[in-house]
Structure 1
Amino acid sequence: MYGDPALPPDFVSLPYVNPDAPKGGKIVLGEQGSFDSLNPFIRKGRAPYGVRIYAFESLMGRSWDEPFTLYGLLAESVETSEARDWVEFTLRPEARFSDGSPVTVEDVIWSFETLGTQGAGRYRNAWNKVEKIEATGEHSLRITFNEPDREMPLIMGLRPILKKAQWDGLDFKNSSNDVVPIGSAPYVIGDFEYGRYVNLDRNPEYWGNDLPLRRGTMNFDTILYEYYGDGDVVFEAFRGGLISTYREGNAAKWMTNYSFPAVQKGDIVKAEVPNQRPSGMRGFVMNTRRAMFKDWRVRQALIEVFNYEFINQTLNDGTQPRITSYFSNSVLGKTDGAAKGRVKDFLMPYADDLLPGALEGYALPASDGKESNRRNLRAAIKLMEEAGYVLDNSGVMRAADGTPFTFEILLNQGSAEPQMIIDIYVEALKRLGIFPKVTAIDNAQYIERTKPYDFDMTYYRRSTSLSPGNEQNLYWGSAGVTQPDTRNWMGADSPAIDGLIDEMLNARSQDDFVAATRALDRVLTTGRYVIPIWFSRSSRLAYDKNLKYPETISIYGDWSGFLPDIWWHSED
């Protein structure tokens, strides 16, 4: 994205893999929820996560030891202009689909056009920036863009490529469950049962085994995804030896719940995998499409009541650092105090619309750690009064017309940790005269309600990378206020957010990019859309002793490209 790739043209393998890792074995991964489709590219249905990643290939692939750098995969070369207003890819003649047929320019163009017009929203948004796509040779094609966006050549390099002939005469966007899509990646879809499991089997005839980008990766013969309806059941399946690895998100449980016999005998290994990526945002999002959350003072009041220090001590023994902004824990995160330099320059055009703290500086409230949280509770009552509410003599917070201030907290019933946090939070809200309704529903119902933003408050998690780009429009761009099924659950509708995303996308230097992202971070954080909880500077992984991973860890750590991508099986 900026500067030169870290690896030379003749690199042998990625720096964080074991190029000599043995092939073979099986890994079983536990997933909460269900699936009813094998097509991960359309809005209809729910497909297994691993199908998109391991069965379908793109023109280029990432190195996860760089913020955003791509190397050739299906494409043997790439060319673009200084302005990046077009990009041309040349395919490797040896590239093949899993059925042995060649990957052609026709397949690539059809994939781009079909995903862009009939696929999920993330594909359509990028397609709107394409002016034309055309073949320029037997193995080459060019994409010309209709607006400035320096990230688009990279985005197009990561689009999945499908086999056109498989879909002749079929309705792609409404494909039935009988269609098993064909890809060109190391794995093919094997045995499966909807809602229960899916096998991804390594293709022994995979065309790209000797590519530098692939050497030492995709080592398991089989990746099996087992689906469970509840997160606690996933853990019990791991304890019982039914799945191979488990990510523990709770620090206290990491200390207390892993003394079962398999751990004591050494059959299960515990490891903490560090990373250098941003914290992202995790917490409880307020839907500003709802009238009760439109006033920022109300949102700030609800943040004041959230006694983080007490909750962290109760659930985590006080060990977890709090998320302080959307890009905290990284160079992209907002700094303390007033905005300065280029960050201030980027914010000033929107000064009249910014909420308090964006320019002057903003920090989350901290409590004294006591359950009473009196100081913050007083601040919350004052903010509610300024927003037009009053705490009456009966201990109920009411609007001027006497209507009680209340809202619904929607939870996925399989998520234990959010439920424990909310139990404590609800007790704190009662001291403010607010008595919310907590509704826990199954995974299918939860998806049906969150896609059209049919909730007041719910648990929210968004990962952010070291190279944020076009996905930011999907996360919090104003188009998502009315467009269903985006990730803008909070309903952010801010010219500053849209404008700063544009500045990020068109930055010509790393300094401007960092400054624009820090400015965006200030606007998002002072929007008071989410009540943040904690993050971890490392991932906690428990896994079967026969699973191995390299000693060198990429800057992204346990993220995309790590498990099971570069792991292997060994019984030594």
Structure 2
Amino acid sequence: MRDIRLQCKLYLPALALGAGLIFAIAGAGAATAEGGDQTYGLAMHGAPDLDRGAAALPYARADAPAGGTATFGATGGFDSLNPFSVRGRTPPEVRAHTIDSLMARSWDEPFTLYPLIAERVETAPDRSWARFTLNPAARFSDGAPVTVDDVLWTLRTLGEGGPPGFRNLWSKISEAREDGPGALRVTFSAPDREAALILGLLPVLKRTEGLDIAAPSLTPLVASGRYVVADAEPGRSLTLRRDPGYWARNLPARRGTGNLDQIRVEWFRDGQAHFEAFRAGAIDIFREGDPQRWAEGYGFERMTRGAARKAEIPHGRPSGMYGLVFNTRRAPFDDIRVRRALTLAFNFEWINATLHGGAYRRITAYFDNSPLRHEGAAEGREREILAPFAAELPEGALEDAWAPPPAAADDARNRRNLRAASRLLEEAGWTVRDGALRDAAGRAFAFGILLGASEEERIVGPFIDALATLGVSATARTVDAAQYQARRNDYDFDMVVNRWGLSLSPGAEQRLYWGRDGVKTPGTRNYAGVDSPAVEAAIDALLAAEGEDDFRAAAHALDRALSWGVYVIPFWFDPVSRIAVDAGLRWPGRLPLYGDFIGWAPDVWWREPAAADAP
């Protein structure tokens, strides 16, 4: 296996000549007349991995058969087909399959882009500007050519009225203009190594006057992706149909992808109904989140007769963060001693053994399971980033790695950790009086846990029971998908369960997750209300890093500052994905490092007419 730093890059082959068998641009690092670099791909650090002779993504089969349908399942519902509205709920398949971006990425490099709508890219050596030349063959699904005007309109529309990530990109741009036939040039207000790549991922929409990009809508946006929306019943089903005139089907970036004629999604009221639909053959794919059911619950007829099969898909991506999120905008969770105490009360070992047969590993940091996880004492560049904030960081943060509470494996009732939690709460001013934990003013320690899925109740139930032994009154409430999303957007909760998927190429999205603007600005993913100068400095360093060593040091600093901040009670992660799938659906034997992730299922899958052995 290659070093994980190289394996976890994101590939998308570059634009091809003729039938699409070779890349359009000769090589990386060619100088332009303005002193910039013109390449066939754009990497965050170093050079792109793919050579000019690549025919397809390394994990796609260039000659994969076309045809057939794959039906996925989901829980909850949707009420919009506009993925850029923060108020609506849009199926992620709409953005993924119907809207192409200027450039494309693959999940086999940390962060590298290859041409798609833009056939060439030039950047300043310090990435202070970028120039994209559009492929003259690029077409929207209605047959209209993709123009520079469309790209500039999309950039401005999303930047002024789209989700926070686009507004953040827009704030970094000092000028965006047409720069010769079929080309646009964007100048950034300050050098930012990642900004050009984020711009390369800009989804391109057809200019539509009067469009309110922030409003939910059931009218599909016109774009240039592999699929178009064929049918949509809000809250029930979505059907995407492959565009037979898709302009990029012979490019290496797209060869062997989008093989299915139709992608369908059916919605179910909860996870059990979702699973039963797979058992009955109503859907083709089920991602199993229960290791015990995976081991014992697949003896039903569809499996035994060979109509479906099981597969475990390994991955090398970071654990990310998944757990109970403290809303630090509210007391008492603005006190780190309280957050530490409640973290001690969560009995991971008992929950993992009882609910999951011990199959999961506890998350020990945000970038756990990767080279970006911080270790030991902060040294060198990592320490340089964090040292100015030493007085604001928790004691010991620079001298040692953060670690979760001691394992309760030899103490099923977690008494040792509960005693430590009680001491921390008392230190924070909470004492038991009249049968409840109260502050100096006599207010009882009580809070609510907002849940979006009934399956989460069995996780938080034991936690609530443990808190009761400390005198803390916690209640869990499961709400429907619309209310759950609305309350998360407005940070209207005390505690919530959330999962942040993190990559081996963290960048500008980290501001959306942890940036201090999200303390008050609705619609970000800073659900915890992180407001930390150390975190801000680490993100700044991450985005400014020019070499791999600086980049890794900045990631370590971010991981350390977040972990020591105790913003989340970590749950667990799994180094494999467990999927049950209809036997007629296949994929190449070569898997991307990120495994069962964006850009793999069903992007590179195909359907065969009869059951076959697993790849």
Q: Deviations over 1:213-257 (max 9, x none)?
A: 101111100001112232222111111111110111222221122
Helix, strand or coil at the partner of 2:362: coil
- 1:304 paired residue number: 344
What's the % identity of the aligned pairs?
50
Counterpart amino acid of residue 416 in structure 2? R
- 2:163 paired residue number: 120
Aligned equivalents of 1:281 and 1:170: distance in 2? 36
- 1:203 paired residue number: 243
Aligned pair in 2 of structure 1 residues 338, 175: CA closer, same or farther (>3 Å)? closer
- 1:372 paired residue number: 413
Aligned pair in 2 of structure 1 residues 295, 8: CA closer, same or farther (>3 Å)? same
Using the TM superposition, give the Cα deviation of residue 176 of structure 1 relative to its aligned residue in structure 2, in angstroms: 4.4
Using the TM superposition, give the Cα deviation of residue 195 of structure 1 relative to its aligned residue in structure 2, in angstroms: 1.7
Q: Pairwise mapping of residues 295-374 of structure 1 onto structure 2 (< 5 A)? A: 295-335=335-375, 337-361=376-400, 362-369=402-409, 370-374=411-415
The answer to which of 421-430 and 496-505 deviates more is 421-430
Using the TM superposition, give the Cα deviation of residue 9 of structure 1 relative to its aligned residue in structure 2, in angstroms: 2.7
Contact 2:454 2:478 in 1 (8 A): no
- 1:511 paired residue number: 549
- 2:303 paired residue number: 263
Aligned equivalents of 1:440 and 1:211: distance in 2? 46
Aligned pair in 2 of structure 1 residues 174, 447: CA closer, same or farther (>3 Å)? closer
Helix, strand or coil at the partner of 2:312: strand
Aligned residues: 565
Helix, strand or coil at the partner of 2:267: strand
Aligned equivalents of 1:403 and 1:115: distance in 2? 45
Contact 2:585 2:606 in 1 (8 A): yes
Q: Deviations over 1:466-513 (max 9, x none)?
A: 100000000010000000111000000001111110000000110010
Aligned pair in 2 of structure 1 residues 225, 511: CA closer, same or farther (>3 Å)? same
Aligned equivalents of 2:603 and 2:537: distance in 1? 36
- 1:160 paired residue number: 203
TM-score with structure 1 setting the length? 0.97
Gapped regions of structure 1 (runs ≥ 5): none
- 1:389 paired residue number: 430
Helix, strand or coil at the partner of 1:113: helix
Contact 1:390 1:399 in 2 (8 A): yes
- 1:11 paired residue number: 54
Q: CA RMSD in A?
A: 1.3
Contact 1:289 1:481 in 2 (8 A): yes
Aligned equivalents of 2:481 and 2:214: distance in 1? 23
Aligned equivalents of 2:258 and 2:244: distance in 1? 12
- 1:245 paired residue number: 285
- 1:484 paired residue number: 522
- 1:494 paired residue number: 532
Helix, strand or coil at the partner of 2:473: coil
- 1:186 paired residue number: 226
Contact 1:307 1:366 in 2 (8 A): no
Using the TM superposition, give the Cα deviation of residue 43 of structure 1 relative to its aligned residue in structure 2, in angstroms: 2.4
Match of 2:468 among 395, 413, 430: 430
- 1:546 paired residue number: 584
Match of 1:457 among 492, 495, 511: 495
Q: Pairwise mapping of residues 230-241 of structure 1 onto structure 2 (< 5 A)? A: 230-241=270-281
Match of 2:484 among 446, 451, 456: 446
Using the TM superposition, give the Cα deviation of residue 99 of structure 1 relative to its aligned residue in structure 2, in angstroms: 1.1
Counterpart amino acid of residue 260 in structure 1? F
Contact 1:309 1:366 in 2 (8 A): no
Aligned pair in 2 of structure 1 residues 32, 14: CA closer, same or farther (>3 Å)? same
Aligned equivalents of 1:132 and 1:530: distance in 2? 39
For the pair 1:564 / 2:602, whether they are aligned, the reply is yes
Contact 2:139 2:146 in 1 (8 A): yes
- 1:140 paired residue number: 183
For the pair 1:105 / 2:148, whether they are aligned, the reply is yes
Counterpart amino acid of residue 515 in structure 1? A
The answer to which of 362-371 and 29-38 deviates more is 362-371
Counterpart amino acid of residue 386 in structure 2? L
Counterpart amino acid of residue 120 in structure 2? S
Aligned equivalents of 1:367 and 1:10: distance in 2? 52
Using the TM superposition, give the Cα deviation of residue 323 of structure 1 relative to its aligned residue in structure 2, in angstroms: 0.5
Contact 1:409 1:458 in 2 (8 A): yes
- 2:25 paired residue number: none
Q: Deviations over 1:48-99 (max 9, x none)?
A: 1111110011110002100110000011110001010000000111111111
Using the TM superposition, give the Cα deviation of residue 175 of structure 1 relative to its aligned residue in structure 2, in angstroms: 6.3
Contact 2:457 2:476 in 1 (8 A): no
Gapped regions of structure 2 (runs ≥ 5): 1-43, 611-615
Aligned equivalents of 2:192 and 2:600: distance in 1? 29
Contact 1:308 1:366 in 2 (8 A): no
Contact 1:367 1:375 in 2 (8 A): no
Counterpart amino acid of residue 207 in structure 1? W
Aligned equivalents of 2:98 and 2:364: distance in 1? 37
Counterpart amino acid of residue 379 in structure 1? A
Q: Deviations over 1:193-214 (max 9, x none)?
A: 1221111100111111110110
Using the TM superposition, give the Cα deviation of residue 555 of structure 1 relative to its aligned residue in structure 2, in angstroms: 1.1
Match of 2:294 among 254, 257, 269: 254
Counterpart amino acid of residue 391 in structure 1? V
Q: Deviations over 1:386-407 (max 9, x none)?
A: 1011134x54211122221111
TM-score with structure 2 setting the length? 0.90
Helix, strand or coil at the partner of 1:35: coil
Aligned pair in 2 of structure 1 residues 113, 266: CA closer, same or farther (>3 Å)? same
Aligned pair in 2 of structure 1 residues 170, 553: CA closer, same or farther (>3 Å)? closer
Aligned equivalents of 1:378 and 1:172: distance in 2? 52
Aligned equivalents of 1:169 and 1:316: distance in 2? 51
Aligned equivalents of 1:148 and 1:131: distance in 2? 11
